[in-house]
Amino acid sequence: MELRLYDTLTRDKRPFTPLDPANVRMYVCGPTVYDFAHIGNARPVIVFDVLFRLLRHLYGEAHVKYVRNITDVDDKINDRAARDYPGLPLNEAIRKVTEQTERQFHDDVDALGCLRPTVEPRATEHIGEMRSIIEKLVAGGFAYVEQDHVLFSPSAMNAANGVLPRYGSLANRSLDEMIAGARVDVAPYKRDATDFVLWKPSKPGEPSWPSPAGIATPGRPGWHIECSAMSWKHLGETFDIHGGGIDLVFPHHENEVAQSCCAFHTSRMAQTWMHNGFLQVEGEKMSKSLGNFVTIRELLRGWRGQAWSGDVVRWAMLQTHYRQPIDWTFDNLLAARNELAEIYIFLRSIDYELSNSGRDVVQEAGNLSPSADVVGPLLDDLNLPGAIASIRSRRSMLGKSRDAAMQVVRDLMFLGVVRSETRYVFGMSSVGQRWPAQLTTKIAGLGFDYRIACANKDEEFVKQIEERAARLGVTIESRGPLDLGLNFVSDWSDQQSIQDLIEARTAARANKDWKESDRIRDELAAMGVVLKDGKDADGKPVTTWELAR
Distances in Å between the Cα of 339 and the Cα atoms of 385, 419, 456, 467 are 14, 18, 18, 27
What band does 537 get if pLDDT is binned at 50, 70 and 90?
low
- pLDDT at position 167, please? 95
Percent of the chain's residues with pLDDT above 70 = 80
Cβ–Cβ under 8 Å, residues 346 and 399: yes
What digits encode the pLDDT tens for the residues 341-397?
777 767 766 765 666 566 667 777 888 899 999 999 999 999 999 999 999 999 878
- Cα separation, 470 vs 451, whole angstroms: 16
- pLDDT at position 300, please? 82
Q: What are phi and psi of 122, to 5 degrees?
A: -100, 145
Highest-confidence range of 171-185, 187-201, 468-482, by mean pLDDT? Answer: 187-201
pLDDT at position 474 over 60: no
State the helix-helix crossing angle for 75-84 and 495-510, rounded to 10 degrees.
80
- Cα separation, 426 vs 159, whole angstroms: 63
DSSP string, 216-255: -S-EEE-HHHHHHHHHHHHH-SSEEEEEEEGGGIIIIIHH
Residue 108's identity, in one-letter code, is D
User: Any idea which of 44-53, 131-140, 481-490 has the lowest mean pLDDT?
Assistant: 481-490
Burial (CB count within 10 angstroms: exposed 0-12, middle 13-18, buried 19+), residue 274 = buried
Mean pLDDT, residues 440-454: 34
User: Any idea which of 166-175, 197-206, 286-295 has the lowest mean pLDDT?
Assistant: 286-295
pLDDT at position 426 over 70: no
Strand partners, 201: 219
Nearest in space to 425 (alpha carbons), one of 437, 434, 417: 434
Cβ–Cβ under 8 Å, residues 53 and 416: yes
CB neighbour list of residue 334: distance below 8 Å, 6 or more residues apart: none
Mean pLDDT, residues 255-262: 97
- pLDDT at position 449, please? 31
Measured distance between the N- and C-terminal CA atoms of the chain, rounded to whole angstroms: 53
Nearest in space to 192 (alpha carbons), one of 221, 151, 164: 151
- pLDDT at position 135, please? 98
In a 3-state reduction of DSSP, which class is residue 346?
helix
- Cα separation, 358 vs 372, whole angstroms: 30
- pLDDT at position 89, please? 86
- pLDDT at position 228, please? 98
User: Any idea which of 149-153, 311-315, 533-537 has the lowest mean pLDDT?
Assistant: 533-537
333: left (phi over 0), alpha (psi -120 to 50) or beta: alpha
- pLDDT at position 480, please? 42
pTM comes to: 0.79
What band does 549 get if pLDDT is binned at 50, 70 and 90?
very low
Q: Is the peptide bond before 251 cis (omega within 30 degrees of 0)?
A: yes
- pLDDT at position 489, please? 33
Mean pLDDT, residues 148-157: 96
CB neighbour list of residue 459: distance below 8 Å, 6 or more residues apart: none
CB neighbour list of residue 429: distance below 8 Å, 6 or more residues apart: 337, 341, 450, 451, 452, 453
Supply the mean pLDDT for the chain.
82
Distances in Å between the Cα of 332 and the Cα atoms of 39, 289, 320 are 14, 23, 11
In a 3-state reduction of DSSP, which class is residue 72?
coil
Q: Quote the Cα angle for 320-65-240, to 5°.
A: 70
Q: What are phi and psi of 333, to 5 degrees?
A: -65, -45
Q: What are phi and psi of 546, to 5 degrees?
A: -150, 165
- pLDDT at position 482, please? 37
What band does 278 get if pLDDT is binned at 50, 70 and 90?
very high
pLDDT at position 547 over 70: no
What band does 462 get if pLDDT is binned at 50, 70 and 90?
low
pLDDT at position 115 over 60: yes
Higher pLDDT, 158 or 469: 158
Mean pLDDT, residues 409-414: 92
Percent of the chain's residues with pLDDT above 90 = 48
- pLDDT at position 356, please? 59
pLDDT at position 445 over 70: no
The alpha carbon torsion through 231, 276, 101, 255 (nearest 10 deg) reads 40
What band does 461 get if pLDDT is binned at 50, 70 and 90?
low
What digits encode the pLDDT tens for the residues 52-93?
999 999 999 999 999 999 999 888 998 898 888 888 888 888
Nearest in space to 31 (alpha carbons), one of 64, 77, 83, 66: 77
Q: Which domains does the chain have, with CATH numbers?
A: 19-276 (3.40.50.620), 298-488 (1.10.730), 495-547 (no CATH)
User: Any idea which of 398-412, 477-491, 535-549 has the lowest mean pLDDT?
Assistant: 477-491
What band does 442 get if pLDDT is binned at 50, 70 and 90?
very low
Mean pLDDT, residues 184-213: 88
- pLDDT at position 467, please? 60
Highest-confidence range of 74-88, 130-144, 173-187, 527-541, by mean pLDDT? Answer: 130-144
In a 3-state reduction of DSSP, which class is residue 68?
strand
- pLDDT at position 179, please? 66
- Cα separation, 316 vs 175, whole angstroms: 40
Higher pLDDT, 481 or 234: 234
Higher pLDDT, 65 or 475: 65
Mean pLDDT, residues 321-333: 94
Cβ–Cβ under 8 Å, residues 280 and 328: yes
Cβ–Cβ under 8 Å, residues 523 and 472: no
What band does 33 get if pLDDT is binned at 50, 70 and 90?
confident
